[in-house]
Amino acid sequence: MKKTLMVAALTGVFATAAHAQSSVTLYGLIDAGITYTNNQHGHSNVQMTSGSVNGSRFGLRGAEDLGGGLKAIFTLENGFGINDGTLKQNSRLFGRQAFVGLASDQYGSVTLGRQYDSMVDYVGPLALTGTQYGGTQFAHPFDNDNLNNSFRVNNSVKYQSANYAGFKFGALYGFSNQADGFANNRAYSAGASYSFAGFNLAAAYLQLNSNGATGAQAAFNSGGAINGDNTFFAGRQQTWGAGANYTFGPATAGLVYTQTNLSSLAGIGAGASGVTGGVGLNGSSAHFQNFEANARYALTPALSVAGSYTYTRASIEGQRPHWNQFNLQTAYALSKRTDVYLQGEYQQISENGVGLNADINGLAGSGNEKQVAVTAGLRHRF
């Protein structure tokens, strides 16, 4: 009799669980390394670093089956420094991502919260800075196109389509949340990608309005779409890009082009990794173009090599600086979740009349126009 009652009780529990089909997953990644830099403000340095490739994070991801191919979803993702345990993303608890929404197997998903823009979602994976094969330190100067997600978009509603035979698309809108300033610090973006027969193609657009214009700092809407991790303080930022890569056997090769146009540029924010305290400018327009060629190759299932070259040219306050950056990484998987890596970067800025120094993303800037960095690191995923 007791066995019968126990079986009946367990059957009821499993029936309820099967009906709800809810799940919550704890996940994360820890990236710790030792970095040598030949010049940081005029001095060489050996330091412990966190997130030289991928930012250290942990998160909660959940879903509840609502029936008919519809489910409720959420993600809460924290960013932290493994070297000192501090919060990243301007000390936000869930600064990397925080959203909730509905997802349909047939029609895609709609989510609301703090989220990635379309440049990150679609073009980023085609540049090494948006992947595990380069990441933070491979970013284009000041991460001017946000492919390394220096900032996320607050107050945003986002749509991402289902995968239609390799074709995906999406869009995002970030509200200013200001009653008397609808466009004061708002954002919007859109993008699409297509994969077929080893080819991957993607394009995206991002626009930020009034995220800190010259002479209007006091009127800057700090509750808007971008706050605390600004790459640029400008009246308007327009960024777009496209990329393609092709995978053949164990090799993948690709090209990425992006450009960013800025009006009323007041400065480069301290949110741009490596720019300590920010760089003040005089409210002129500015323009960045980035050309990246990249490749990666799996020598064995456990050992990979990857490299990229980026040429960036800009127009800032009538000057035309340009950057050359060479990047190389090798990684060895100790298991499915743990790997060690060694990577290096060389950056040089030329024709520099703006007073900028070389500045590898994620590190303190150089004291001159050249900078070299080498990192040996360990990554663990859970």
- DSSP bridge pairs for 342: 330, 376
The values of phi and psi at residue 246, to 5°, are -135, 130
Tokens at 379, concatenated: 């990554």
The values of phi and psi at residue 136, to 5°, are -50, -55
Q: What pLDDT digit, counting tens, does each position of 278-335 carry?
A: 566 667 789 999 999 999 999 999 999 999 999 999 998 888 999 999 999 999 999 9
CA 374 → CA 159, 191, 351, distances in Å? 39, 34, 26
User: Is 339 within 8 Å of 306 (Cβ atoms)?
Assistant: no
Vertex 225: Cα angle to 105 and 121 (nearest 5): 40
Average pLDDT by stretches of 10, the chain with 382 residues: 44 45 95 98 96 97 96 98 95 97 97 98 97 97 95 97 97 95 93 97 96 54 87 92 97 98 81 50 86 98 98 91 97 98 97 84 94 98 98
Tokens at 7, concatenated: 């079986």
Instruction: State residue 17's pLDDT score.
Output: 42
| 24-381, CATH topology level | Porin (2.40.160)
- Strand 43-50 to 303-316 pairing: unpaired
Instruction: State residue 306's pLDDT score.
Output: 98
**Which residues contact residue 201 at a Cβ distance below 8 angstroms, ignoring those fewer than 6 apart?**
193, 194, 195, 242, 243, 244
Tokens at 65, concatenated: 């089956």
Torsion on CA atoms 95, 97, 101, 107, rounded to nearest 10 = 150
Instruction: State residue 278's pLDDT score.
Output: 52
Selection from 260, 297, 265, 15 nearest residue 141 by Cα: 260
